[in-house]
């Protein structure tokens, strides 16, 4: 057993710190010493610009990637949904922890009853095109407003601005003890690829670090998130694309759902597949290719790329 101090790179938000401490606790249980190294990312420092305009997911990972490549840290801990589908040369995801609740939720400023009134024109806060597209598809009379920041900041902004509600990931609220703020679970909304899962990034040339993390790796979560992320990658969707994907294991079968909406929510295309686990290696590709075979899907993707250019 090695007793090397493993330097864990993390952002300094309350959620990122929880995730890093969770990984640290698992390593310590197996006899390893750990040290948290806090690193500011562009996504943490620039809060007045919508995320897609900053460059998408990479704004939360690049500084940590650089720290790994420069040997300033041994591993970096991320919300898996924040990691781009293409990783820098020399780095790879070396462990995926068991997934927490993958659902999206609404946190209402007062009451979520406005969702039951089809004539009410609510204002909903989200910085996600995926969440916004699915929300407007279901509630076309509502308006969206951008919101950035960590969990505490977004909850504060919701109350200060008088918006009707804001959309969050259930996993994030639960992990930092804010589950009581959840007004409703959005069972109809398909989550982001890998939502609810924590991933550990490391250098490909450090096998001892890989061995240290192997006991924290959850193979079922890794399989499902790999399918979801491959679906995203084949459709060429980054953080800006209104794409949702969720896979789960049910009775030795992978049950998959994927969705693409227009940015305005007026168009929605879904794909569902059920495949035995032993035949699921190419499931993400198959789902994406089936969706892209539809003329409407290609038209939506073309329009999205034009609008986000």
Q: CA torsion sign, 179 to 185 to 186 to 190? A: positive
Residue that the structure tokens 């493993």 belong to = 6
How far, CA to CA in Å, does 108 sit from each of 162, 192, 232, 265? 10, 21, 30, 21
Task: Return the H-helix or E-strand segment holding 284.
Answer: helix 283-292
Return phi, psi of residue 276, to 5°.
-55, 145
What three-state secondary structure class fits 136? helix
Matching residue, tokens 């959005």: 186
CB neighbour list of residue 219: distance below 8 Å, 6 or more residues apart: none
- Angle CA(232)–CA(73)–CA(200) in degrees, nearest 5? 30
Rounded Cα distance, 170 and 99, in Å: 11
Measured between alpha carbons, how far is 302 from 156 in angstroms, rounded to an integer?
36
Distance CA 162, CA 164 (A): 6
Give me the catalytic one of 44, 65, 74, 82: 82
Cα–Cα distance list, 100 to 18, 79, 197, 290 (Å)? 13, 11, 6, 29
Secondary structure letter of residue 154 according to DSSP? H
- Spatial strand order of the sheet with 123-125 comes to 143-145, 123-125, 165-169, 104-108, 184-185
φ, ψ of residue 255 in degrees (nearest 5): -105, 120
The answer to whether 82 is a known catalytic residue is yes
- The residues annotated as belonging to the active site are 82
């Amino acid at each position: 057993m090695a007793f090397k101090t493993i330097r864990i790179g993390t952002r300094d938000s309350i959620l990122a710190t929880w995730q890093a401490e969770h990984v640290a606790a698992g390593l310590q249980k197996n006899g390893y010493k750990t040290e948290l190294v806090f690193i500011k990312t562009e996504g943490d420092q620039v809060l007045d610009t919508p995320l897609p305009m900053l460059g998408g997911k990479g704004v939360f990972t690049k500084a940590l990637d650089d720290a790994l490549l420069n040997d300033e840290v041994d591993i970096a801990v991320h919300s898996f949904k924040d990691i781009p589908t293409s990783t820098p040369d020399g780095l790879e995801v070396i462990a995926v922890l068991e997934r927490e609740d993958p659902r999206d939720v609404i946190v209402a400023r007062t009451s979520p009853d406005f969702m039951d009134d089809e004539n009410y024109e609510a204002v909903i806060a989200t910085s996600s095109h995926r969440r916004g597209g699915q929300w407007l598809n279901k509630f076309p009379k509502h308006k969206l407003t951008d919101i950035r920041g960590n969990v505490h900041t977004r909850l504060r902004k919701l109350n200060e601005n008088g918006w009707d509600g804001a959309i969050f990931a259930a996993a994030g609220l639960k992990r930092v003890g804010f589950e009581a703020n959840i007004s409703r679970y959005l069972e109809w909304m398909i989550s982001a690829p890998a939502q609810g899962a924590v991933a550990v990034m490391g250098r490909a040339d450090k096998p001892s670090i890989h061995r240290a993390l192997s006991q924290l790796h959850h193979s079922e979560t890794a399989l499902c998130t790999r399918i979801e992320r491959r679906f995203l990658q084949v459709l060429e969707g980054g953080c800006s694309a209104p794409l949702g994907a969720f896979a789960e294991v049910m009775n030795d079968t992978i049950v998959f759902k994927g969705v693409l909406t227009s940015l305005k929510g007026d168009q929605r295309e879904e794909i569902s597949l059920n495949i035995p686990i032993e035949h699921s290696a190419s499931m993400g590709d198959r789902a994406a290719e089936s969706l892209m075979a539809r003329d409407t899907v290609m038209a939506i993707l073309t329009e999205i790329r034009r609008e986000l250019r």
